Amino acid sequence: MSQLPLLSILVGIPLLGAVLCLFVRAEAARWIALIATLLDLALGSYLWALYDPSGPQWQFVEFVTLGGGINWALGIDGIALVLIMLSVFLMPICIGASWRAIEKRVPEYMAYFLLMEALMLGVFAAQDLFLFYIFFEGGLIPMYLIIGVWGGAERIKASYKFFLYTLFGSVLMLIAMLYMVITAKTTFIPDLMAYDFPVHAQTWLWLAFFASFAVKMPMWPVHTWLPDAHVQAPTAGSVILAGVLLKMGGYGFIRFSLPMFPEGSLQFIPLVFALSGIAVVYTSLVALVQRDMKKLIAYSSVAHMAFVTFGLFAMNRQGIEGAMVVMLSHGLVSGALFLCVGVVYDRLHSREIEKYGGLSNNMPGYALLFMVFTMASVGLPGTSGFVGEFLSLVGTYHASTWAAIVATTGIILGAAYMLWLYWRIAFGTARTKEAAAMKDLSAREWWLLAPIAAAVFWMGIYPESFVRPIRNDVGRLLVRLERVAPAGDSQPTPGKPKLKVIDAEGQHGEAH
Amino acid sequence: MGRFAPLLPELILSIGGTILMLVAAFTGRRGSGLTSWLSVALLIAATFALMGAPSHAGPVFDGLIAADLFASFGKAIMFPAAAIAIIAAHGWFEHDHEHSSEYAVLIVFSAVGMSVMVSATSLVSLYVGLELQSLAAYVLASYRRSDERSAEAGLKYFVLGALASGILLYGISLLYGFTGTMNFTGLASAFGRGAPSLGLLFGLVFLLAGLAFKASVVPFHMWTPDVYEGAPTPVTAFFASAPKVAAVLLATRVCIEALGPATEAWRQIVIFAALASIFLGAVGAFGQTNIKRLLAYSSINNVGFALIGLAAAGPQGASSVLFYMAVYIVMTLGAFLCVLWMRRPDGEPVETIASLSGLSQTRPAFAAAIAIFMFSLAGIPPLFGFWPKLLVFNAAVASGYVALAVAGIVGTVVGAYYYLKIVKVMYMDDPVEPFERAREPIQGFLILLAAVIVSPLGYLLIGPLGALTDRAAGALF
């Protein structure tokens, strides 16, 4: 293993870039941001190549003690690795998407984005409980400013809602963390993952963490900040919000709630399944009636993230691996869909579905890519969406038949709203003159969308590349959950062969 | 001479202050610059003298004063804060030709009072220190004689302060009457003899009420917004920093050293005061349009958090209070130095929050500094203001007061709203007329220093500062 502190460098590059951006003009800031994010992408890929799936659980470990109960402890397992990959992959695309769309206060904007990236990567790499919290909460500040300064008409309200909602969720988690550290006498996450907290305490600890992650995820009914934030944020902000920030909720469940409080998790499976079931059906129906493209995709995010919670709390291999793949896939697909909205928004400055139509005539390239992402969102076999949703549904079915039935309706509803959206935008005739006159994708936009499309197909056709790093870690999690995993109501039961029954009856009759 | 060695910092300040007063009397307005810088030098010398003074000298003057590490820690943060308050006035009073030398001298005497406060181990020295500090403060509040608001602030502060002193004295007399001693250790043993009598309990309540006034803790906070708004801004910066620390540290020492055995009796008072301060401080700030009033409520809110650490009692709680006040003083001074720089192009100071609109576009670095202080005061990580909050909550959870910690932390979310409002005004609103460009390199450097300390780089201080506060708090037990 290499001796360089690779993870610190990974976090440090965007941080350095952010500082540099503040001292230069717009054009230079754009290039600095692009180079910094590309460097991080390269470094992330290097980590992926170095990562040994069958090696120790925690790799690239770094440990510097800061004293006073906090340590600069970094280290990643496979689960963190794939999420880091997702982040570093989406960041250069976000910078590219803001290249021309952002005209005012560019250096500041790029600085906040790079700061955001550093904090996100820190969340996934942190091995110290408080360090994790600092990164987790720190992300609020740049996002608050991104939404508030560069957002749409209702940006102020949306930024406040985003900040205070998520802050409120997180502070309760902080108290739970303090309790955990005092009880377990360590802040080291791997140690805490193996620590058995008293069962009565687990209930409260689980709820405190749930308050934070459910808001972040977001789960119904605490999802209401999301549509506002998404709609008002600039395109790249939406991409990073949907692509990475929402994944922190799922990551939190998989890193904290499940391994640290297995009994607590078991207790609340019905709650999670009920909320997820409502989310799938209700938010899908809400998505169906939206007139605003971004809002529609935002609601679809809530529905998709419900697949993640279903899969995670099924507590079996298919469910958890499926949930991970859904997270990765949704990160790519919803990010790409927001970019697609951004492409037409840049041309027409409207997100109203009404204003568009017939884009397949004048924007064939756009229509093609948009279709790919629509299909991936629907879950067409061959795309990433299918793999994740199928696996998590299988897992859910093992745990609870009813939950699986409700969850599956989400696929049908998802197809309904996504296909209808695509039909209204791409087919038929243009509803406005301006829409008919729009030009097809520029080279820059191709460069943004094509890599995501490639990744979507890669994940759909050969998901092994993404499942391999996480397989052993999911295994370790399952060992931890073994003692509580629900038996499920769809066990294969031994049949009663007819022949024997007749024999028995025959004997029965003979005896008398 | 040996018995005076533990008092070296106080001696430097008292003798130096007296001489400076004479200098001021003879040089008049011309000598204001000279006295200011000499006062700063005195305070710096006193800070350095802390290192030389034996910090384990134990009780001096028959137990009137203790020169222990707890007191030294308090002095080590208060003296520099007082010095900064003098530097902050540089270039402020010149605008209206009122700057006379007494300002710096008064702050030096106030510093002597504060240092007696934090080292007092007897009710007499407690009262003497408190009054010395307060009398200087009353004059400072009304320092701009020609300004009605300043005069009003001084009068209000004096009348209410005198009332609080009366309450405090009444409490002291009750305690003395029922125990026959003024000494903290004597009081502790009196409280240790079974359940305290009604008279002792009354004495305790009055004593704490008097201290709550000095620390501007709810429900004795009413004077704070008015005095902070009316007093000249450098004076407000001083009020919000050093005297506040002195009052909180004094309360900590009284609660733990003198009233330790009666912890159950005062803890409920402190818990109420903490939560009331947090929520009233947060809610009261909502509608404010004047930045000094807003910061006044912010200081009420922040003292509430420090009191959570006190409610936890024990060495960990006391240590978290010290840590909290040390970081608080940096954030507050930083924020007020920024307020000092809010001047219209014609040099006239402005205090409205609206005048900050769009500051991030007209003065990006200035806006960034204010944003850092605001996020830090709100306790949002990764800024350093988060860590002391974590420590006080940690102390509360560790001593079993989880509900208190939860209530307090919900208060941070309520409070976050108005800090965000300032950031919103600076970053998201359209620019208005820009401020005059400040020409105070020393103040600029101090703002930068404060911003660096509360930035994430501050986390590097956790180790050394944490060890120091642990040792200082250990002196009380």
Nearest to B427 among A68, A149, A178 (CB): A149
Q: Is B199 on the interface with A (CB under 8 A)?
A: no
**DSSP state letter for A65:** E
- The pLDDT assigned to B293 comes to 92
Whether B302 contacts B217, CB under 8 Å? no
Lowest-pLDDT choice from A9-18, A34-43, A341-350: A341-350
Whether B105 contacts B39, CB under 8 Å? yes
Q: Is A145 on the interface with B (CB under 8 A)?
A: yes
Q: Is B417 on the interface with A (CB under 8 A)?
A: yes
Provide the shortest C-alpha distance from residue B320 to chain A (in Å).
Answer: 11
CA gap A160, A158 in Å, rounded: 6
Position with higher pLDDT, B143 vs A41: A41
Q: How high is the mean pLDDT of chain B?
A: 88
Name the band, by pLDDT with cuts 50, 70 and 90, for residue B143: confident
What's the number of CA atoms in the CB half-sphere (13 Å) around residue B379? 31
Question: What is the full DSSP assignment across A217-254?
Answer: TT-TTS-THHHHHHHHS-HHHHHHIIIIIHHHHHHHII
Which of A464, A510, A426, A467 shows the shortest CA–CA distance to A324? A467
Which of A235, A37, A222 shows the shortest CA–CA distance to A120? A37
What does the pLDDT average to over B70-88?
Answer: 92
Lowest-pLDDT choice from A358-367, B265-274, B387-396: A358-367
What does the pLDDT average to over A300-312?
Answer: 90
- The pLDDT assigned to B55 comes to 58
Question: What is the full DSSP assignment across B390-447?
Answer: HHHHHHHHHTT-HHHHHHHHHHHHHHHHHHHHHHHHHHHSPP-SPPPPP--HHHHHHH
SS3 A346: helix
What does the pLDDT average to over B71-92?
Answer: 89
What does the pLDDT average to over B135-164?
Answer: 89
The pLDDT of residue A504 is above 60: no
Name the band, by pLDDT with cuts 50, 70 and 90, for residue A511: very low
What's the number of CA atoms in the CB half-sphere (13 Å) around residue B445? 5
The rounded Cα A132 to chain-centroid distance in angstroms is 17
- The pLDDT assigned to A501 comes to 54
What is the dihedral sign for C-alpha A378, A384, A386, A389? negative
Report ipTM (2 d.p.): 0.85
Residues of A with Cβ-Cβ distance to B412 under 8 angstroms: 167, 171
CA gap B86, B36 in Å, rounded: 7
pLDDT digit string, tens, across residues A399-438: 888 888 998 998 899 899 999 988 888 887 877 777 777 8
CA gap B312, B323 in Å, rounded: 14
Residue keyed to tokens 């059906």: A281
Read off φ and ψ for residue A59, nearest 5 degrees.
-125, 165
Which of A334, A169, A323 shows the shortest CA–CA distance to A251? A323
CB contact under 8 A, B386 and A163: no
Nearest to B428 among A70, A141, A149 (CB): A149
Whether A219 contacts A278, CB under 8 Å? no
pLDDT digit string, tens, across residues B242-285: 999 999 999 999 999 888 888 888 999 999 999 999 999 999 88
What does the pLDDT average to over A19-26?
Answer: 88
CA gap B380, B403 in Å, rounded: 21
- The pLDDT assigned to B102 comes to 82
CA gap A428, A425 in Å, rounded: 8
Give percent of chain B with pLDDT exceeding 70: 96
Most confidently modeled range among A180-189, B26-35, B155-164 = B155-164
What does the pLDDT average to over A213-231?
Answer: 86
Provide the shortest C-alpha distance from residue A313 to chain B (in Å).
Answer: 27
The pair of structure tokens assigned to B451 is 């911003």
- The pLDDT assigned to B108 comes to 94
CA gap A245, A237 in Å, rounded: 10
Whether B99 contacts B89, CB under 8 Å? yes
**What is the largest distance, in Å, between two alpha-carbon atoms of chain A?**
101
Name the band, by pLDDT with cuts 50, 70 and 90, for residue A503: low
What does the pLDDT average to over A23-37?
Answer: 89
- The pLDDT assigned to B246 comes to 94
CB contact under 8 A, B467 and A156: no
Name the band, by pLDDT with cuts 50, 70 and 90, for residue A510: very low
The pLDDT of residue B1 is above 60: no
A363-370 contacts at long range (C-beta below 8 A, 24 or more positions apart): A363/A438, A363/A439, A363/A440, A363/A441, A364/A440, A365/A440, A365/A441, A365/A446, A366/A340, A366/A440, A366/A441, A366/A445, A367/A426, A369/A336, A369/A340, A369/A441, A369/A449, A369/A450, A369/A453, A370/A337, A370/A340, A370/A422, A370/A425, A370/A426
Residue keyed to tokens 């994944």: A247
pLDDT digit string, tens, across residues A455-483: 999 999 998 888 888 888 888 888 888 88
CA gap A328, B379 in Å, rounded: 32
CB contact under 8 A, B417 and A160: yes
What does the pLDDT average to over A307-313?
Answer: 91
Q: For residue A73, list its beta bridge partners.
A: A63
Name the band, by pLDDT with cuts 50, 70 and 90, for residue B124: very high
pLDDT digit string, tens, across residues B322-376: 999 999 999 999 999 999 888 888 878 888 888 888 888 888 888 999 999 999 9
CB contact under 8 A, A167 and B413: yes
* CB contact residues (below 8 A), chain B span 457-476, against chain A: 459-460, 462-467
The pLDDT of residue B288 is above 50: yes
What does the pLDDT average to over A144-164?
Answer: 86
Nearest to B459 among A66, A105, A141 (CB): A66
Q: Is B37 on the interface with A (CB under 8 A)?
A: no
The pLDDT of residue A492 is above 80: no
Which of A146, A169, A168, A170 shows the shortest CA–CA distance to A158? A146
- The pLDDT assigned to A183 comes to 87
CA angle A32, A73, B382 (to 5 degrees): 55
Q: How many CB pairs below 8 Å do chains A and B form together?
A: 100
- The pLDDT assigned to B381 comes to 85
Read off φ and ψ for residue A292, nearest 5 degrees.
-100, 125
Q: HEC profile for B32-84?
A: HHHHHHHHHHHHHHHHHHHHHCCCCCCEECCCCEECCHHHHHHHHHHHHHHHH
- Phi and psi based region of residue A101 (left: phi greater than 0; alpha: psi -120 to 50; beta: remaining): alpha
- The pLDDT assigned to B302 comes to 93
pLDDT digit string, tens, across residues A102-140: 888 888 889 998 999 999 999 999 999 989 999 998 888
Name the band, by pLDDT with cuts 50, 70 and 90, for residue A233: confident
Which of A373, A349, A251 shows the shortest CA–CA distance to A300? A373
The pLDDT of residue B91 is above 80: no
The pair of structure tokens assigned to A421 is 């959206």
The pLDDT of residue A203 is above 70: yes
What does the pLDDT average to over B188-203?
Answer: 86
Whether B473 contacts B323, CB under 8 Å? no
B61: burial class by Cβ within 10 Å (0-12, 13-18, 19+)? Answer: middle
**DSSP state letter for B28:** G
What's the predicted TM-score (pTM) here? Answer: 0.90
The pLDDT of residue B292 is above 70: yes
Residue in A171, A182, A209, A212 to test binding to B, most B beta-carbons within 10 Å: A171
β-strands A71-76, B65-66 pairing: unpaired
Rounded to 10 degrees, what is the CA torsion of B343, B345, B347, B353?
-20
What does the pLDDT average to over B272-300?
Answer: 91
What's the number of CA atoms in the CB half-sphere (13 Å) around residue B223? 27
Q: Is B407 on the interface with A (CB under 8 A)?
A: no
The pLDDT of residue A1 is above 50: no
A505: burial class by Cβ within 10 Å (0-12, 13-18, 19+)? Answer: exposed
Q: How high is the mean pLDDT of chain A?
A: 87
Which of A276, A225, A224, A229 shows the shortest CA–CA distance to A250? A276
- The pLDDT assigned to A330 comes to 92
CA gap B110, B122 in Å, rounded: 19
- The pLDDT assigned to B323 comes to 94
DSSP H helices, B120-220, are 123-141, 148-179, 184-192, 198-214
SS3 A103: coil
Q: HEC profile for B312-349?
A: HCHHHHHHHHHHHHHHHHHHHHHHHHHHHCCECCCCCE
The pLDDT of residue B28 is above 80: no
The pLDDT of residue B189 is above 80: yes
Provide the shortest C-alpha distance from residue A19 to chain B (in Å).
Answer: 12
